[in-house]
Structure formats: structure tokens, C-alpha cells
């Protein structure tokens, strides 16, 4: 029996010794390597590289572990700004293990890869990688702590893109998943991120509350790694609130802790530069210019070489420019103003929400899972609903357009009918029976005087006048030259009646009367009023002047004046020639009517009518 038991134990130890060893992430301790990376311990770079090479060789037969080591090597190279080597190491890490069994370790690789792009100001690419990582971990390693870390990383990226609602969603996922798997995730990091979100949403008091919770939680756990970051974030809120004394206290505390240790996932040089820059801002606001310049210059070296730093709250170049301006060192002030302008042109954080939505969709399309199929089905349904809504809206808009067009056409027809009626009134007023009878009597008198040539001339002028009037009834517009020709003929017929009791002068220098269109017999009503009414009862010779002149390329002016008895308004139910003209002018162009004026005695020796006319060309 004793021999049998010994044999069983011997077989057990032989099996244990010969069995291939497997590793998990917990078997690898990267704390010392992380210390070199995040604290920028340049004196230990050689040691760090040797350690990574040893780990690579030791675990070359274990792809799940090997991929993490190569990813750490890529992170180390990136911290030394050896981007080409970093990308080579990351390509190896991604290629070593590429299937569902590679998780959750593959999730660590993806987190490091995403952080590399984030640090190089390629947030869209970083977000795409981390969203894919979330989906893969949910499928292949749903109970791993790496999924909580990946969710938290997503919070940081959405926060940087100012997509705060989505950041809150993943913050909630981080907390819920950590509780689900009993993972004691660092609550201080969660409080910090939530405080950053609230600060960017301009809720400063709540932001301070969560930053204080972060500090309190660190003190309870005696872990002060995040103190420098948290106090720096608190200082930014106090600066927003213009409480510069509290901001100064937080920044001093932050500088004290930044020298003591590294902050997870944070470049200490970047953090120290941010603290110094805010310190410069505080002193500048407190008008302590020398101190502001001291801290500003300390921050300048890192600031000028990192484009991602540009998206911070206040421009360091602006702070330095204002400091030098207050010291009356205008050349230095101008120099930093130019750098500030160049800085704003280089910022690539435009249209962030669109980038977020587009990147989210790209990440989900790449991941072929049931969730994506459901999302596509939902999108297709929403697209169909959207198309249906578009059709309905289009039909409604078409109906509204047809109704409006109907009203428009009806209004146009009404205007055309009104214009035609007005033109007919003008023509009837010129060719009324009284005028025709008086013209024929004048012709008869000339015939009785046995003046055959004069009588023939009168008959020709009268016949031409009648023919012109009938021709004009068929036209909406005629040239100004034609209208003036008809007007001159009308004046000749009136002179046949009244003899040399009046005279008329027409001026139109530099006006292109051959190409300008006007309504037929536009000026005739005013000439008729002057001859028939204005010159009655005056002893001197009646003088009628018509002046046409250019105002601009689009308008000409008319001035009709006489030395008659003046203009009198007759109040009855009839539509008089002046009202007819005003209506015709309004139909041509409503703005022209505003320029129409009539001046008469006692302000003028007779009557003067002026108006502007918008040109319509042949």
C-alpha cells in the first residue's frame, strides 16, 4: 500500500514537471518596466530593453503572452520617440496571435495600440481600435478585467472628443462590469474622468466634488499615484471660477506629487508641462508677470513639440504674449502672437461629433457579429422610415408649391388684366369723343380757310395719331423712342387746335431711347392735363418741359413741368389720369411708385411732376 501511494505521488510530480507551463497576464510583472516608461528614467533604458528581450526569448513558444511582451516593447520604443521601431514591434504583437483564443491578452495589446495613436493625436484611429476591442472582448472574454480597462479607455477617448454623453455611457459600463466580475478597479480614475466630463460641460461645483472624492479614495487606499493629476484637474476648475488662490494651492500640491512617482497612462513630462502652464496662467491673472514668465518658459519646451497639447484650455503662447505686452516688450509679444495664430491653424479638433459618429460606425462595420447585424437591420428600418418620411414631405411640399404657384399665376393674370384695363383707359382718355370732335373741327376750319397744304398736314397728323393708338393697344411695352414720337404727334394735333398758345420742349441727352421699353403713352396724361387744363386762364405763353435723364445703370428719371394754373385734386368717384398712371407705375415696379411726386402752386410756378423708372430693355 505504501509503495502504491509513493508511486502515485512520483507519477504526479513527473507529470507536473513534464507538463508544458502556461502563463497568464498576472505571471508577468511589468511594474518596473512601466516605471521606466512613465517616469522617463533615461538611465534605465538599457536595462528595460534587456528585460524585454529576455521576456521575448523566454515566452516565444507562448503566443498569448508573447503578444503582450511585444506590445510593451512597442510602448517602450514610443516613449523614447522611436516611432518606426514602435510600429514594427506593434505589428509583430498584432500578428503573433490572431483569433478568439488570443483574448483577453489580445485586448491588452489593442489597448496599448490605441494609446499609441491617442498620444500621436490620432484620436479617431484610437477610438476605432478601442471600440473594436470592446466588441471582441465582449464576445471572447466577457468576464475579464481587461474589458473593464478597455471600457475605461473608451471613456477617455470620448471625453477628449467632447462627446460627453457617450463618455458617460462607457463610464457606467466600466462600473457595472467591474462590480459584476468583482474587479477592484481604481475608483479614483473613474471619479477623475467624471470630474473632467463635468468640467467640460461647465458644471464646475459638481466637477470639484468628484475630484475631491478621487483624492479621498486615494488617501483611504494609501495610493497617491493619481494625486498630481487630480490636483491639476481641480486647478483647471478653480481657474474657470477665477479663484486663483485655490488654483495656485492645487498646482503647488500637484507639482509636489508629480516628482514622487508615475501616473498610470500619463506622460509625466506632459503633466508637468500642463501644471507649469496653468501656473503661468494663474500668475498672469494675478498680474505677477515675472512669475508667470518663469513657469511659462518651463512649460514651453514640451509644449512646442507636442501638437496634442494645443487642445488644452488656454494657449501658452497667448499667456506669454500678454505677459510681454504688460512688460512693454512688444517685439516678444508680437512673436508669441504669431505663434498663437499658427497654433490655432494647426488644431485638428474640428467637427468632433461627426468624427465620433463616423468612427463608431467604422468600428462596428469591421466587427462581424450578431450585434452588428441587428444594428444594420435597425439602420435599414430607420432608412426605410426616413425614405417614407422624405416621400411624404416631398408630396406635401409639392402640393404646397402647386397651391402657391396657382396663387402666383392668378395674381399675375389679375395684374395683367389690371394693366390692360389701365392701358385701355389711357387710350380712351386720349381718343375720347370730345378730343376727336375738336380735332376734326380744327381740320374743318383750316379747309374753310382754303389752306389745302395745312389741311392735308393736319389730316395726316390726325390719321397717324389714330393709327398709333390702335397699334399700341396690342402691345404691353413700346420703346421710349416710339412713345416720344407718338407724344410729339399728339402735341402737334393739340397745336392744330390751340395754335401757338403754348410750346413744348423735350430733352433726353445721353438716354438710350431706342432700347428702353415703357408702357404705351406713359407721359401723355400729364401733357394732356397741362394743355387742356393747365394753360387755360393764363395770359402768357404756355411752356411745357419734358426732361429725361440717367440716374444709374438701372434707372432713369422723368421731370414734366409747366407754367400753368397748377394741379388741383378733384374729389369724385371717377378714376383720374394721375391715379391710372400711379397704378401702371406700381405694376411695372412697386419701388418706382415711391419716387412719384407732384409739386404745384404756391410751391412752384405751375406744376412739376417727377418720378424714377426702372429700366426694361428691348
For residues 239 and 313, the answer to whether their CB atoms sit within 8 Å is: yes
Query: Among candidates 194, 226, 225, 222, which has minimal Cα distance to 210?
Result: 194
State the pLDDT at residue 608.
Answer: 92
State the pLDDT at residue 10.
Answer: 44
State the pLDDT at residue 256.
Answer: 86
Strands 555-562 and 607-614 turn out to be: antiparallel
Query: Among candidates 483, 467, 503, which has minimal Cα distance to 548?
Result: 483
CA atoms of 374 and 369, how far apart (whole Å): 9
State the pLDDT at residue 492.
Answer: 87
Strands 616-617 and 502-507 turn out to be: unpaired
Helix (H) or strand (E) holding 591: helix 590-593
How does DSSP classify residue 607?
A: E
Instruction: Name every residue whose Cβ is closer than 8 Å to that of residue 404 and which is 6 or more positions away in sequence.
Output: none
State the pLDDT at residue 2.
Answer: 42
Instruction: Name every residue whose Cβ is closer than 8 Å to that of residue 119 and which is 6 or more positions away in sequence.
Output: 78, 267, 308
State the pLDDT at residue 34.
Answer: 73
State the pLDDT at residue 393.
Answer: 81
Q: Compute mean pLDDT per 10 residues along the chain, 618 residues long, and list them.
A: 45 39 46 70 78 85 86 84 87 84 88 86 83 89 88 84 83 84 74 84 89 84 79 90 92 83 67 86 90 85 54 67 86 80 55 52 48 55 70 83 76 59 53 65 70 77 80 82 90 84 90 91 87 85 93 92 82 66 82 90 85 90
CA atoms of 412 and 391, how far apart (whole Å): 31
Angle (deg, nearest 10), helices 452-472 and 480-498: 140
Q: What is the DSSP string of 358-369?
A: HHHHHHHHHS-S
State the pLDDT at residue 1.
Answer: 43
Instruction: Name every residue whose Cβ is closer than 8 Å to that of residue 206 and which is 6 or more positions away in sequence.
Output: 198
Q: What is the DSSP string of 393-422?
A: HHHHHHHHHHHHHHHHHHHHHHHHHHHHHH
Helix (H) or strand (E) holding 546: strand 542-550
State the pLDDT at residue 433.
Answer: 61
Instruction: Name every residue whose Cβ is closer than 8 Å to that of residue 313 and which is 6 or more positions away in sequence.
Output: 236, 239, 278
Q: Measure Cα distances from 470 to 165, 271, 291, 464, 474 in Å.
A: 78, 93, 95, 10, 7
Amino acid at each position: 500500500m505504501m509503495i502504491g501511494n509513493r508511486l502515485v505521488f512520483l507519477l504526479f510530480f513527473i507529470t507536473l514537471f513534464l507538463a508544458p507551463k502556461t502563463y497568464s497576464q498576472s505571471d508577468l510583472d511589468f511594474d518596473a518596466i512601466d516605471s521606466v516608461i512613465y517616469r522617463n528614467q533615461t538611465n534605465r533604458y538599457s536595462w528595460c530593453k534587456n528585460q524585454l528581450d529576455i521576456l521575448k526569448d523566454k515566452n516565444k513558444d507562448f503566443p498569448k503572452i508573447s503578444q503582450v511582451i511585444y506590445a510593451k516593447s512597442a510602448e517602450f520604443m514610443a516613449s523614447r520617440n522611436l516611432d518606426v521601431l514602435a510600429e514594427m514591434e506593434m505589428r509583430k504583437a498584432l500578428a503573433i496571435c490572431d483569433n478568439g483564443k488570443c483574448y483577453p491578452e489580445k485586448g491588452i495589446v489593442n489597448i496599448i495600440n490605441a494609446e499609441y495613436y491617442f498620444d500621436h493625436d490620432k484620436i479617431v484611429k484610437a477610438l476605432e481600435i478601442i471600440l473594436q476591442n470592446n466588441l471582441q472582448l465582449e464576445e471572447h472574454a466577457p468576464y475579464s478585467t481587461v474589458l473593464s480597462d478597455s471600457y475605461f479607455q473608451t471613456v477617455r477617448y470620448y471625453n477628449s472628443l467632447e462627446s460627453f454623453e457617450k463618455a458617460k455611457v462607457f463610464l457606467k459600463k466600466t462600473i457595472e462590469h467591474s462590480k459584476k466580475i468583482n474587479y477592484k478597479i481604481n475608483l479614483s480614475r473613474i471619479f477623475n474622468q467624471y470630474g473632467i466630463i463635468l468640467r467640460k460641460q461647465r458644471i464646475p461645483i459638481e466637477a470639484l466634488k468628484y475630484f475631491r472624492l478621487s483624492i479621498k479614495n486615494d488617501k483611504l487606499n494609501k495610493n497617491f499615484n493619481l494625486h498630481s493629476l487630480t490636483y491639476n484637474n481641480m486647478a483647471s476648475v478653480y481657474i474657470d471660477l477665477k479663484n486663483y488662490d485655490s488654483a495656485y494651492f492645487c498646482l503647488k500640491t500637484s507639482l509636489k506629487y508629480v516628482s514622487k512617482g508615475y501616473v498610470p497612462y500619463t506622460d509625466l513630462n506632459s503633466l508637468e508641462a500642463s501644471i507649469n502652464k496653468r501656473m503661468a496662467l494663474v500668475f498672469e491673472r494675478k498680474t505677477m508677470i515675472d512669475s508667470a514668465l518663469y513657469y511659462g518658459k518651463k512649460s514651453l519646451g514640451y509644449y512646442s513639440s507636442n501638437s496634442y497639447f494645443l487642445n488644452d484650455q488656454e494657449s501658452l503662447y497667448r499667456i506669454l504674449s500678454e505677459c510681454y505686452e504688460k512688460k512693454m516688450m512688444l517685439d516678444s509679444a508680437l512673436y508669441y502672437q504669431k505663434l498663437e495664430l499658427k497654433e490655432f491653424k494647426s488644431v485638428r479638433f474640428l467637427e468632433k461629433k461627426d468624427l465620433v459618429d463616423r468612427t463608431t460606425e467604422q468600428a462596428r462595420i469591421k466587427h462581424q457579429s450578431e450585434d452588428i447585424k441587428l444594428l444594420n437591420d435597425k439602420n435599414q428600418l430607420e432608412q426605410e422610415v426616413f425614405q417614407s418620411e422624405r416621400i411624404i414631405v416631398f408630396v406635401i411640399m409639392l402640393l404646397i408649391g402647386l397651391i402657391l404657384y396657382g396663387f402666383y399665376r392668378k395674381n399675375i393674370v389679375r395684374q395683367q388684366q389690371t394693366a390692360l384695363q389701365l392701358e385701355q383707359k389711357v387710350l380712351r382718355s386720349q381718343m375720347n369723343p370730345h378730343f376727336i370732335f375738336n380735332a376734326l373741327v380744327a381740320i374743318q376750319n383750316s379747309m374753310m380757310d382754303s389752306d389745302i397744304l395745312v389741311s392735308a398736314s393736319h389730316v395726316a397728323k390726325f390719321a397717324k395719331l389714330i393709327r398709333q393708338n390702335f397699334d399700341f393697344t396690342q402691345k404691353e411695352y413700346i420703346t421710349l423712342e416710339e412713345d416720344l414720337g407718338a407724344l410729339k404727334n399728339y402735341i402737334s394735333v393739340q397745336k392744330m387746335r390751340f395754335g401757338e398758345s403754348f410750346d413744348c420742349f423735350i430733352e433726353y441727352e445721353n438716354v438710350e431711347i431706342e432700347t428702353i421699353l415703357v408702357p404705351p403713352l406713359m407721359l401723355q396724361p400729364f401733357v394732356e392735363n397741362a394743355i387742356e387744363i393747365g394753360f387755360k386762364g393764363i395770359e402768357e405763353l404756355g411752356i411745357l418741359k419734358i426732361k429725361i435723364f440717367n440716374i444709374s445703370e438701372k434707372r432713369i428719371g422723368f421731370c414734366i413741368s409747366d407754367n400753368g394754373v397748377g394741379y388741383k385734386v378733384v374729389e369724385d368717384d371717377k378714376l383720374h389720369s394721375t391715379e391710372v398712371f400711379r397704378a401702371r407705375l406700381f405694376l411695372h415696379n412697386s419701388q418706382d411708385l415711391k419716387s412719384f411726386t407732384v409739386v404745384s402752386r404756391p410751391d412752384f410756378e405751375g406744376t412739376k411732376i417727377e418720378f424714377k423708372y426702372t429700366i426694361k430693355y428691348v
